[in-house]
Structure formats: C-alpha cells, structure tokens
C-alpha cells in the first residue's frame, strides 16, 4: 500500500455569532459546516486540518464558541493559526492542547506522519497587515534548522507576496525582506497561506507559496490599479495536499511529491459591492 499523508487546509472561515445583526453576504457558518462535512467524507481519510487564520469574524468569545462547535465533527485534528480578524489569546484558549510556541505569539511546530508543519503567527496587533519581527524570525530559523527527514510545510495567515489586488495588499508586510532571507536558507516543500480570500500562487525565496480559498466569501479578481473593493461569492471550498514519497528517478533530490487539490463545496454568485460601513 502506498504511503500517503493527506492534509486539508481550511482558511478565512470568518465564523460569526449566530445572533449577529451584522449584514453578511453569505452564511459563513453554514459554508464552514459544509466544508467540514466534506472533509469528513474524503477517502482516504484526512490526517490533519490546517486552519490558516481569520477563523472568527471579529475575534469575539461567542464566535469562538461557534467555531469549536462547527469544527467538532471533524475526525482529524485541527492545527489552528491566528489571522488579523482573530484574537490570538482567545483562539489559543480554544485549543489548549495545541503545541503553542509561547504565550506571546501563536506559532507552533508539529509532525503529521513524516510531514513537519511549521505554523507561523504573522499577525500585527490591531492591524490587517503582517509583521514578522526579529524574535519571530529567529524562532522560525530555529524551527526550520531542526533535523527532519521528511517534508516541511510552512503555514501562515498572511501571504509573503503582493496579490496585485491593491486594496487587499494595503495592509503591507513588515519584515518581508528578512523573512525571505530566512526561508531562502532552508528547504521548505510548500508555503500555505490565507488572508487574500481567493486562491493564488507565487514563488517566494525559491519556495512555492499557495493561498487557499476562503470558506466565507471571496474578493473579486480585478488587477486594475483603481479596482473597487468588490466581493464575490465564488464557489467556496478547501485545499487538500497529498504528500507521498517521490519515486521519480529522473528528478534529482525530489524526495517528496506534494500534490495540491481544491475541493469545491458550494456554488457561487455574481460580483457585487458590499456595504463597507458596517
Ligand atoms: Fe480573511
Ligand atoms: Fe486576514
């Protein structure tokens, strides 16, 4: 039987308080429930679910209670990361057994089968953009330097590249050049991100970085410099990463084969401009 580790990535679930009066453009909680139900029916079974941040809409206690209820049916363990919409300490308290690095930031390292997954907290307090200061970069360098025979995945909420959708890039990424310097010195088999609310890929520091689809709503793909802040209810879903030993003899040093898939679980709707005032 072939050796396979199957990982799902959920991102930007933006779970809401069921009693919210906020104007929503999609049923975030219902859409997450649909994704969870779908993950549970994957065959072969998913070994772990990486949740790359913005798990709650505003970081409120009731939202996290709802998040835990929505994730409870998963048969695979959840590996959570904080996003700019999350409240880091509250998120950590929902997952008390998770191997958090320390009390100050929500980073972690864990192994799933032979796959090492490094979760890096890229949030900047009170801001939508990313920040990796010297302390977090030192932590990352140490984590990536530890001996490991299998593949390494790096998961983080903010993508380390500009999307070209200007209004999504406005938050910026403090410490990006230093981050790229650190990761360039290590073998990383895939970087998994969220935050951008639509799937995309880029190569950063010699590594493939991928953004997963949000389960809540997407932003419109509009690369014009004056693009309006439009949201679109594209079909939502989650990523699946199938990790197996590479038996391709003609590719030198290709020790692991990591194939990324996207599973769609809901249908879409045309683009529209939401009411940003609430
Ligand atoms: Fe988000
Ligand atoms: Fe975000």
Task: Output the domain CATH number for residue 35.
Answer: 3.60.21.10
In the structure, what pLDDT confidence band is assigned to residue 252 with cuts at 50, 70 and 90?
low
- Measured in Å, residue 264 CA sits from the centre of ligand 2 at 21
Q: Are 264 and 277 spatial neighbours (Cβ–Cβ below 8 Å)?
A: no
- pLDDT at site 104: 78
Answer whether 225's CB lies under 8 Å from 166's CB.
yes
In a domain? residue 274: no
Domain membership of residue 120 (yes or no) is: yes
Q: In what order do the strands lie in the sheet with 108-112?
A: 108-112, 115-120, 152-156, 190-193, 207-211, 200-204
Stretch 64-85: mean pLDDT: 98
User: What is the domain range of residue 83?
Assistant: 5-264
Classify residue 229: in a domain, yes or no: yes
Q: What token pair was written down for 231?
A: 């949201």
CB 80 within 8 A of CB 51: yes
- pLDDT for 251 equals 58
Which residues neighbour ligand 1 (ion) by CB within 5 Å?
12, 54
Helix locations, 51-175, DSSP H? 61-71, 88-94, 134-145, 166-169
Distance 42 CA to ligand 1 centre (A): 25
Residue 271 lies in a domain: no
Nearest bound ligand to the CA of residue 197: 1
User: Does residue 188 lie in a domain region?
Assistant: yes
Dump pLDDT digits (tens) for 9-26. Answer: 999 999 999 999 888 888
Question: How many angstroms is it from 276 CA to the middle of ligand 2?
Answer: 16
pLDDT of residue 102: 81
Mean pLDDT, to the nearest integer, of 102-111?
90
Q: How far is the CA of 168 from the centre of ligand 1 (A)?
A: 10
Q: Please say if the pLDDT value at position 208 is more than 90.
A: yes
pLDDT tens, 150-181?
A: 999 999 999 999 999 999 999 999 999 999 99
Distance 245 CA to ligand 1 centre (A): 33
Distance 196 CA to ligand 1 centre (A): 7
Number of domains in the chain: 1
């Amino acid at each position: 039987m072939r050796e396979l580790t199957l990982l799902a990535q959920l991102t930007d679930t933006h779970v809401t308080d069921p009693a919210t009066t906020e104007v929503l453009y999609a049923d975030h909680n219902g859409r997450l429930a649909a994704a969870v139900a779908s993950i549970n029916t994957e065959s072969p079974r998913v070994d772990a679910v990486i949740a790359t941040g913005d798990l709650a809409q505003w970081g409120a206690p009731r939202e996290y209670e709802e998040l835990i209820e929505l994730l409870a049916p998963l048969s695979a363990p959840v590996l959570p990361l904080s996003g700019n919409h999350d409240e880091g300490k509250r998120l950590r308290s929902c997952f008390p057994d998770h191997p958090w690095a320390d009390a100050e930031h929500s980073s972690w390292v864990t192994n799933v089968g032979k796959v090492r997954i490094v979760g890096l907290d890229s949030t900047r307090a009170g801001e939508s953009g990313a920040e990796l200061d010297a302390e977090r970069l030192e932590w990352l360098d140490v984590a990536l330097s530890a001996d490991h025979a299998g593949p390494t995945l790096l998961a983080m909420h903010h993508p380390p590249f500009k999307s070209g959708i200007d209004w999504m890039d406005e938050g910026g990424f403090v410490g990006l050049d230093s981050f790229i310097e650190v990761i360039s010195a290590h073998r990383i088999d895939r970087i998994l991100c969220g935050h951008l609310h639509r799937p995309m890929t880029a190569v950063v520091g010699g590594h493939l970085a991928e953004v997963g689809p949000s389960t809540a709503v997407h932003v419109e793909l509009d690369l014009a410099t004056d693009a309006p802040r439009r949201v679109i209810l594209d079909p939502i879903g989650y990523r699946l990463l199938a990790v197996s030993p590479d038996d391709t003899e003609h590719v030198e040093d290709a020790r692991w084969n990591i194939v990324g898939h996207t599973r769609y679980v809901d249908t879409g709707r045309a683009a529209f401009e939401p009411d940003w005032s609430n």
